[in-house]
Every structure is written in C-alpha cells, then in structure tokens.
Structure 1
Amino acid sequence: MPDHITQSVERQLPTDEARDLLSLVRDIAQREIVPQAAEQEDAGRFPRELFALLSESGLLGLPYDSAFGGGDQPYEVYLQVLEELAAARLTVGLGVSVHSLSCHALAGYGTKEQQNDHLPAMLGGGLLGAYCLSEPAAGSDAASLRTKAVRDGDDWVISGTKAWITHGGVADFYTVLARTGPDGARGITAFLVPGDAEGLSAAAPEKKMGMKGSPTAQINFDGVRIPDSRRIGDEGQGFAIALSALDSGRLGIAACAIGVAQAALDEAVRYATERRQFGRPIADFQGLRFMLADMATQIEAGRALYLSAARLRDAGRPFAKQAAMAKLLCTDAAMKVTTDAVQVLGGYGYTADFPVERLMREAKVLQIVEGTNQIQRMVIARHLAGPDSR
C-alpha cells in the first residue's frame, strides 16, 4: 500500500505569505515526495532531484536573509515547513534541516564578503550542504575532536576524519570544525570546505536501520588545503559557533520528529476507521480509541513546545533550554507514537506494505542525532541547576 499522509493539521501561521508557503510545500510533498518515498527508501536511493526542486522553489534557505537568496521566514514558519516535509519523507525533511544547519555558521559569523561570495549559491543555487562536527571518537564530547587544521601561509591544511555525516559524499560543501589550537573547546575553528576539494573523500555509506535513502558516511580529510578566506569567524571561535548552530538544529529535529509522528497517527486513524472486526470498525473499541487519543495529545504537546521555542528564537531571546526540551520531548514522542501506530495496525503494521514500520525505524534516529536525548537532559539540567560541580 502506498504511503497515506493526510496532514490535515490546523496551522497557526502569522501571515498570508506563510499560509501560501505551506500550501506550496504540501502540494510538492503530495505530488513529488510521497508517491515515491517507500520505494526509494527501500532501494536506498538518495533523491537529489528533490533537493534541486526544493532549491528552485525557494525552500532551502527559508530562515535566512533574502539579500543572500534566503526566504526571510521566521523559525516559527520554517519549522512547520520541515514538519510537512518530514511527514512526507524523513530523508527530505531531515536533509533540509541539515542543509540549514550547514549554512548557519557562514550566515551568522561570516564576513559580508564571505556571505556575498558563497551564500547565494548555498541558499538558492542548488547546492547541498553537510555539517562536520562528530568524529569516530568524538560524538557527544564534541570538544575532544582531533581533526586538525594547520596554518600554512595564507592557507589552512586540514587532516582527520569526521563521522556520521549526513549527505556525506554527496554534499557540495561541508561546514567543518577542526582543531587549530590547544585541546578543549577554545582550540576549535570553523571552515567552509568545497565538496570537490582535493584530498577530501567519503567512505562507503553506513548501513542503517532507517533513513536508508539518506547517505551517512565518514569524511576523510587528507591534507585538504583551503585559503584563509574560507575560515568562518575568529580562530578558536568554532566551538561557540557549533553550539549556536546546534541550538537551532535541535529545533529542526524536533519539527521533523513531529512530522514523522503525525504521519504515523494519520495512518493509524485511517486504518482504524476502515478495518472492521466483530462487525464494526476497530476504532469503535475503547482500547484503540484511547491509544489514538494519547498519540494525538503527544503530537500536539510536542508541536506546541517546538513552536514556543521558535518564537523565543524569532524574538531574539535565549532559547537553548527550550530547544533541548523540544528535541527531547518531540523525538521521544515520535518513538512512542510510531510504535503505537504499528500496534494499531497489528500484523499489517509489521509489514513493509504499510508505512508505519518504516516510520518507526526512522523515528529512532531522531533520539540520537544532534545530541542524544541523554545529552538533552544534561543541557536542560545545566540550565536549571548549573554545571556539574565535579
């Protein structure tokens, strides 16, 4: 059975422009993404042509300045676009979120000259980005990364390996965090590296339980030489830049999680109202009705939390704690809702003939990427009680 996503969510959008934007996104999702999602995911096919379409439609740079090709949209709107795309296919929704994350450093910390030189192509010129922070031995402890960038005249020479890179091997540019100074957070600097740089190569993509259409790979830097003009921000500022990007990126993951959960709920409701047992729809039975009610409540709570955090960001107020809360709540909700959706469909839910088994497999990764949910709890606790005193 093909994916069935109603996405009849009542949106609270601030402008007519935003409502038109969501209408465009839903149209693209239903025409171009949903019909091929299951088949392409099963085949492990990366839909690069969809990202080209999204770029042509102005959807790859929504939260950024229109002077550089962005969409001038508040995060409140941008995140709802991500939710719609993720509901159609997580490979696409998460891919847009990762691309936006990859543009954050240059948009927020680059010089005007750098922004003029690179942002238009990154935001609306068909390019696709990747974000290189994690390493084989530096995941949650990102400050311990070992990839090095050594100054050589007016150039930098980057050597090392990055791991778990979404769009690894297919990206046109990589935002790379590398060590330029002493151990610890203060010795890290950000760089913008072209995807075709000499000495840059990708390992074979990881074999994953979900999101098989989205390539995740190690990226090797074997003496990659780039000019100092591609250094973003000051030397030693990279870790602060990375944390700033991750606060926004966590909201993107939260929105994607709610999209996946909404798709699972839509499928569960459709099935429960059509499937008949004992002479009536199974949706008439209280046990299932209560499950559906709980699923819907978790989704609404998660959506309200990520939108609340987005409005703080849009107002220029601190939102790091709320971003961690949203990422935690929304991704845990997605895991629970998709698991329950499989249960609602019973044996059919466990088969690839229905989309809920894929949604359940995809939901799991959202509890891990851009800071595991255990890390989110540490972030929240730090805001409440201060840093660990050890």
Structure 2
Amino acid sequence: MSTDHRLSPEHEELRRTVEAFAHDVVAPKIGEFWEQHEFPYEIIREMGRMGLFGLPFPEEYGGMGGDYFTLCLAIEELARVDSSVAVTLEAGVSLGAMPIFRYGTEEQKRRWLPGLCSGESLGAFGLTEPGGGSDAGATRTTARLDEATGEWVINGTKCFITNSGTDITALITVTAVTGRKPDGSPEISTIIVPSGTPGLTVAAPYSKVGWNASDTRELSFSDCRVPADHLLGEKGRGYAQFLQILDEGRIAISAMATGLAQGCVDESVAYAKTREAFGRPIGANQAIQFKIADMEMRAHMARVAWRDAASRLVRGEPFKKEASIAKLYSSEVAVTNAREATQVHGGYGFMNEYPVARMWRDSKILEIGEGTSEVQRMLIARDLGLAG
C-alpha cells in the first residue's frame, strides 16, 4: 500500500488558492466577527462561490467533483487562520450535506444538494442530546409515523448543533427513536427536518469559550411534523449511518486541528522574529527555537496522520482506526501548540487582538467534538482486539 501523501498538482493548486483566501479575505475580518460573536455571512458566501462547500460531491448535484481528501485540504488551510470559518465548512459538508449524499434518495439529493454545494444554504446534523453526550445510542428524541396524515411526528431536544440557526440554514438531519428492535433496544432512524418547520424551536446561540464566529444552538421538537418521505436512508439504520458519518468527520476534524496547530507555528515564528528582548529577537534564544521546533514537529505528524486516514477513505480501504488515531493525536497537538504559542507571545498571547489567543480558546473543543479523546482511545483499543 502506498504511503506517499505528496499532493498532486491539482491538490496543490487548491491548497494554495484556499491559503491565499484565508490570509487575504478571512484574516483581516474574522477577529471582529469573533469578538462580536457574529456569523460571517459574506465570508461564507465567498467560500460558496469558490465551490468549497461542493468539493467532495459530483458535478451532477452542483458539486466540484473532488473527494474527501480535497475537502480536508481546504479545511486545514482555513483553520490555519480561523477555526470558526473552518468548522462552518466542516460541519456544513461532512455533517450537513454528506448524510444526504450517502443515504438520500435521488429526489432528496436533487432537492437539497445543489443549495448545500453552492453554500447558498447550510445543513446541520442533529445528533447530540443534553443527557447523551458520547452515548449517542441513548437517543431520547422520538419520531412516530402518523398513518392518518403520512407524517413523522418528532419530539425531543438536541444540543450543541452547529449551523442549525443561521439565516441560510436549510435543514437539520435528526436522529430519533422510531421503534424497538426484537431485543428491546431502540430502533434509531434519521429524518430530514427543513428549517422553519412548525414544532421546531431553535434556541438563541450559545455563549461559548471559542468558535465564536460559528453558529451553535439547542433545538427542541414539539409535535414537529414532516412528510414520511423525509426519512433519510433505511428505517432503523440511523445509528449505523451516523457512525459512518462520524468516522469520516473525524478525519475532517483532524485536518482542522492540524491547521490550528500549524497556524500556531506560523504566528509564533513571525512573532519570534520581530519581538525583541534583552537587545535581540526572542527567536535567537534556543529555548524559543526548541519550543517552536517541537510545535512544527507536532503539526507535521498530525498532517501525516489525517492524510493517511483520508487517503485510505478515498481508496475505499478500512480507515476507522486511522481516523480515530488522526483525530486523537491532532486534537491533542492543537491544544498543546495553542498553549505553547501563547507562551511564546507572553502577555500579548493573552490579548484577543492576537490570533493565538483565539487559537488557544478554539483548540479545546477539538478534543471533545465528534468523539472525545477518551472515545477515540476506546475505539483504537477495540480495533486492536481489546474488547471491553
């Protein structure tokens, strides 16, 4: 099996294009959005016009005809500058649009994917519940089919749902218990709920530690009704579907964590070259040099990890363990690099006007979202045959 992860000319061209966009368009504006907890609609629209939301989807649905590796390249470059913009793309594609592409009917794909691929609309993935957390199988949200009206009737609550309440959110894909299996365990299915559906209440945005320019909310469903044909995939297969979606999404989160880790290196190198203490740049001190060298080493190895997992996915090979390794390693690397970059910047690293302050606050959630570090260790151990 090849382990050569050098970029093709097409991939390198995309990477450079997104890198330039991140530095020329995102970097000058995002600090103000982040400080004011505002969603950067114009930046997201420009990303849509670039085709970033359609990267891994076929052209027949409005996509760019790329693959998951291509998407992750774009996510990493955005995260080198800002994680709020990066997670909006990551969640909009891997959690919002990908379930419809993977499991939707032809009619569902043609109805929803063009808008999602263009960035004119966003999708959200309603999985996590207030009492569930990592135990996604303990879903309490229910959906029953009203035979008289031919509608699903949904009741329950979801929390921490990204992209669920923006002005351009088009749909939320919701996991819900739709019955019981012969052994008494819950039968979980996935249902598409369009934004604005009566019975769906979208709460105010959370007050968060980081990702302040992204949209994250709680959702509640009270006799929320959608047509029967809004079932996504096979009834009772929702649990298996979202496990696959999360496996893929962990690679994208790893790419985002790698971008943040590399962004910490970028900012630290630039600061160390210009900040003087005791008559010379602090970058001339070996203590600072070694600190930044270790940061670069960690970012490099995180990149190797996600590219390996993404390459396996694209080739159709097993990738579950490699995705968990990449997600676990890169998220912890991002937290470490953010802490070290703040130390390199000294007191200025504690000021929000410096990007490393945002990176420090943005990094921690990477060890939690789409599977905590503890869950990743559990999955890796299970793959090694160490059953619990």
TM-score (norm 1): 0.93
8 Å CA contact 1:148, 1:178 repeated in 2:
yes
| Contact 1:44 1:213 (C-alpha < 8 Å) held by counterparts | yes
Report the Cα offset of residue 30 of structure 1. Answer: 2.3
The AA in structure 2 aligned to 1:144 is A
For 1:282, the equivalent position in structure 2 comes to 282
Distance apart, 1:226 and its partner CA: 0.8
Match status 1:164 vs 2:160: yes
Query: Measured at CA, do residues 209 and 126 of structure 1 come closer, stay the same or move farther in structure 2, by a change above 3 Å?
Result: same
Q: Is residue 15 of structure 2 the alignment partner of residue 22 of structure 1?
A: yes
Q: How does 1:1-390 map to 2 (within 5 A)?
A: 14-100=7-93, 101-124=95-118, 126-153=120-147, 154-170=150-166, 171-182=169-180, 187-388=187-388
Contact preservation (8 Å) 1:186, 1:239: no
Residues 125 and 203 of structure 1: CA distance in aligned 2, closer, same or farther (over 3 Å): closer
Letter in structure 2 aligned against 1:265: V
SS at match of 2:243: helix
Distance in structure 1 (CA, Å) of the matches to 2:204 and 2:319 = 37
Query: How far has the Cα of 1:32 moved from its partner?
Result: 2.0
Secondary structure of the 2:226 match is strand
Give per-residue Cα distances to partners, 1:211-231, cap 9 Å, x unaligned: 112121110111111112111
Cα shift readout 1:92-116 (whole Å, capped 9, x = no counterpart): 1011110112112111111222212
Give % identity. Answer: 38
Q: Tell me how far apart the structure 2 counterparts of residues 175 and 295 of structure 1 sit (CA, whole Å).
A: 38
Q: Structure 1 stretch 195-204 or stretch 120-129: which is displaced more? A: 120-129
CA positional deviation for 1:21: 2.2
Matches of 1:275 and 1:24, distance apart in 2: 30
Secondary structure at the aligned position of 1:115 is classed as helix
* Offset, 1:26: 2.3
Distance in 1, matches of 2:50 and 2:377, equals 37
Q: For residues 89 and 317 of structure 1, do their structure 2 counterparts lie closer, same or farther at Cα, with a shift above 3 Å needed?
A: same
Please report how far the alpha carbon of residue 185 of structure 1 lies from its aligned counterpart in structure 2 after TM superposition: 6.8
C-alpha distance in structure 2 between counterparts of 1:316 and 1:135, whole Å: 32
1:275 corresponds to which letter in structure 2? R
Higher mean alpha-carbon deviation, 216-225 vs 24-33, is at 24-33
Separation in structure 2 between the aligned mates of residue 343 and residue 16 of structure 1, nearest angstrom: 37
Task: Give the residue type in structure 2 aligned to 1:19.
Answer: E
Local SS of the residue matching 2:239: helix
Distance of 1:80 and 1:46 partners within structure 2: 23
What is the CA deviation profile of residues 115-157 of structure 1, one whole-angstrom value per residue up to 9, with x for unaligned ones? 1222222222611111100000111000001011110122111
Q: CA deviation at 1:369?
A: 0.6
**Contact residue 144 and residue 185 of structure 1 kept, 8 A:** no
RMSD: 1.7
- Offset at 1:191? 1.1
| Paired residue type of 1:30 | H
Q: Is the 8 A contact 1:13 1:77 kept in 2?
A: no
Contact 2:163–2:216, Cα closer than 8 Å, also in 1: yes
- In structure 1, runs of 5+ residues without a counterpart are 1-10
1:148/1:69 Cα in 2 relative to 1: closer, same or farther (>3 Å)? same
Task: Specify the alignment match of 1:5 in structure 2.
Answer: none
Unpaired runs of 5+ in structure 2? none
